[in-house]
A = this chain, B = another copy of it.
Amino acid sequence: MSRKVFYISDGTAITAEVFGHAVLSQFPVEFEALTIPFVETTQKAEAVKAQINDCFITTGERPLVFHSIVKAEIRDIIYSSECIDYDFLNTFVAPLEDQLGVKAVPVTHRTHGKANHSYEARIDAINYAMENDDGQTLKHIDKADIVLLGVSRCGKTPSSLYLSMQFGIKAANYPFIEDDMDNLKLPEVLKKNKHKLFGLTIDPVRLHEIRQSRMENSRYSSLRQCRIEVKEVEMMYKRERIPFVNTTNHSVEEIATKILDVTGLERHMF
């Protein structure tokens, strides 16, 4: 039976999820997680406590609780439940107070709220990625922080969106298609923005699988076509000295942070 875990917060609970997931993924154990955000009243906290106690009675094991609750009276209700409590934020607050020589001023909703953030810039970046996806237009390339290149279905769109959403980076992307392959070269407007270009590539067998699930038994999805496109595009990256990354075994988080690492683009925090 999998061990029960609660992620609880008076805000979005995203920090509790990210942190708890990072710690628990180090254990060869099955977990079953439930996230409860916006626990902002003592009434709601009592309901969560009842749920935790119920879980203990049903399973015979105290559930693990990762929480980031700012208000003491709400936190105390959760503490008083039949849980194993991991107060991962407050554990570090006291040592930081000593180090910084100031007291913490905890505020609910600050981590993932809108206050004190260049939130507009982030939304602009998301809209930019949407509007400049898949080579729809290269008109706004002067506003791009980066332009991702690659064949169809190599990961350009999710990577562009992640760069904008997580890091506030304006990422356009441009596809090379079948018709380009006979004489593959960079469009002039991309050549002029060469310092912004970053290539993606992918294992042809994996590409073939992805394309098959979208357009089965087409020329587009054939292994032969995938091999040709990947080979031509990689040769072009090398010829033009465009940095590139192979997306085959990497998540969007890894692809995006690798791109930032190689290019030196600044990561913004939201």
Contacts and interface: CB of A to CB of B under 8 A. Distances in A.
A89 interface: yes
A60 interface: no
A105 B161 contact: no
Given A33-B269, A261-B37, A267-B35, A249 B114 contact: yes
Interface of A: 3, 11-15, 17-19, 21-29, 33, 35, 37-38, 64, 68, 84, 86, 88-89, 91-93, 95-96, 99-100, 102, 104-107, 109-114, 117, 119, 123, 126-127, 130, 133, 157-158, 161-162, 165-166, 249-254, 256-258, 260-261, 267, 269-270
A158 B131 CA distance: 12
Given A26-B89, A27-B104, A133-B130, A14 B253 contact: yes
3 nearest interchain CB pairs? Answer: A112-B253, A12-B257, A26-B104
A165 B161 contact: yes
Nearest to A129: B161
A127 B161 CA distance: 10
Contacts of A249: 114
B21 A18 contact: no
B19 A123 contact: no
Q: Pick from A35, A107, A127 the residue with the most CB of B within 10 Å.
A: A35
Given A14-B257, A267-B35, A26 B250 contact: no
Nearest to A106: B26
Q: Which of A17, A29, A112, A114 counts the most chain B CB atoms within 10 A?
A: A112
Nearest to A127: B157
A93 B23 contact: yes
Contacts of A100: 3, 27, 29
A19 B19 contact: yes
A38 B257 contact: yes
Contact of A99 (B64, B88, B112, B270): B64
A85 to B, nearest CB: 10
A38 B258 contact: yes
